[in-house]
């Protein structure tokens, strides 16, 4: 796998609103990555009927001339992005080598190697020696002590969100909500100053995920005619406005209705007809509804660059 670029987001205390706790497994009734497993499918926490299975599945078997090393699986990888609530986590579905998807996904995550340029990572440059899963949960072996203490500029809140970035990614790949232990030289250690000996578990989605995200179209997608936009959101009265912009000009808009709101993120989808648009590059944008009319912190927005042909 090509070594990905590293992008570390320096976070201030003011950028993180409210504390992020390492919650127990029972706090969220849905698996953290219970979304469709396909890279072009809808998003997490309960998939709508038309969506494929949540289980990451291998690509079609290679021909006799292909090596088994070319087999891939599609897995969720969580990155960080800015929101009105401060930094939050956003997910991309990515193809990784099928023989070690946990390590491959973790490498993309730590490097901040996201397709969407609005996303990054909460991890400074570095990586893990190994990532494994067994009966007791996930074990992440550190390559050195780089990640044991928080780097300069990382607040405690940022450290906790970084831990959630790791937890959500590993649980999403494995489709298990078991705890994560970080080790150095085979013994439990700290992650950015957080004790992991008892196992770290996922915080509620509503506390750590961006309140709206776009799964389809993906960043850089080419679309024509009609396509289905999809994602997840927790938006006022389950309303998810969407727009297509060319520059700052809105050329098309509508809304989707999510399957729920308030307690977690729910799937949304909408049919989008771009047949009336001239070929070219556009921005697809989904947001949370803003009942304050702009008087509050404003809506959470997720955007994808698309090409209409």
pLDDT at 56: 36
Contact 27, 83 (CB under 8 A): no
pLDDT at 116: 98
Angle, CA 60 vertex, CA 57 and CA 61 arms, to 5°: 110
Buried b vs exposed e over 34-62: b needs ≥16 C-beta within 10 Å?
Answer: bbbbbbbbbbbbbbbeebeebebeeeeee
- Specify the residue for token string 């939050």: 88
DSSP state of 59: P
Residue 163 in 3-state DSSP? helix
Percent of the chain with pLDDT over 70: 77
pLDDT at 296: 72
- pLDDT digit string, tens, across residues 98-130: 999 999 999 999 999 999 999 999 999 999 999
- The separation between CA 24 and the C-alpha centre of its own chain, rounded to angstroms, equals 20
- The separation between CA 89 and the C-alpha centre of its own chain, rounded to angstroms, equals 6
pTM value is 0.80
- Positions in the chain whose pLDDT score sits under 70: 1-69, 294
- Give me the domains of the chain, ranges plus CATH numbers: 13-208 (no CATH), 212-308 (2.60.40.10)
Question: In the Cβ-directed half-sphere of 268, how many Cα atoms lie within 13 Å?
Answer: 29
- pLDDT digit string, tens, across residues 262-287: 999 999 999 999 999 999 999 999 99
What lies within 8 Å, CB to CB, of 14 at 6+ separation is none
Catalogue the long-range contacts made by 66-73 (C-beta closer than 8 Å, 24 or more residues apart). 68/99, 69/97, 69/99, 71/97, 71/98, 71/99, 72/96, 72/97, 72/98, 73/98, 73/101
pLDDT at 16: 38
Q: What is the DSSP string of 61-90?
A: PPPTTS-GGG-EEEEEEEEEE--TTSSEEE
Beta-bridge partners for 13? none
How does the average pLDDT of the chain come out, rounded? 83
């Amino acid at each position: 796998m090509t070594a990905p670029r590293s992008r570390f987001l320096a976070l201030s205390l003011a950028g993180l609103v409210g504390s992020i706790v390492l919650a127990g497994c029972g706090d969220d009734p849905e698996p953290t990555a219970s979304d469709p497993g396909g890279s072009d499918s809808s998003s997490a926490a309960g998939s709508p009927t038309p969506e494929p299975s949540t289980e990451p599945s291998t690509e079609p078997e290679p021909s006799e001339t292909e090596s088994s090393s070319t087999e891939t699986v599609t897995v969720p990888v969580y990155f960080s992005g800015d929101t009105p609530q401060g930094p939050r986590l956003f997910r991309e579905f990515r193809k990784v080598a099928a023989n070690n998807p946990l390590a491959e996904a973790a490498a993309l995550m730590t490097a901040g190697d996201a397709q969407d340029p609005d996303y990054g990572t909460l991890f400074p440059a570095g990586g893990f020696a190994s990532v494994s899963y067994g009966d007791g949960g996930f074990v992440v072996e550190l390559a050195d002590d780089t990640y044991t203490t928080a780097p300069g500029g990382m607040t405690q809140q940022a450290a906790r969100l970084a831990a959630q970035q790791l937890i959500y990614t590993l649980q999403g790949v494995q489709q298990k909500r078991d705890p994560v232990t970080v080790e150095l030289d085979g013994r439990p250690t700290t992650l950015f100053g957080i004790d992991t000996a008892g196992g770290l578990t996922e915080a509620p989605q509503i506390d750590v995920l961006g309140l709206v995200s776009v799964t389809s179209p993906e960043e850089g997608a080419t679309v024509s005619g009609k396509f289905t936009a999809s994602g997840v959101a927790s938006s006022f009265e389950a309303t998810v406005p969407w727009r297509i912009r060319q520059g700052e000009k809105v050329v098309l808009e509508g809304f989707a209705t999510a399957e729920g709101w308030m307690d977690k993120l729910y799937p949304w989808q909408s049919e989008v007809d771009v047949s009336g648009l001239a070929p070219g590059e556009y921005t697809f944008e989904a947001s949370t509804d803003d009942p304050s009319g702009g008087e509050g912190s404003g809506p959470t927005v997720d955007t994808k660059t698309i090409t209409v042909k």
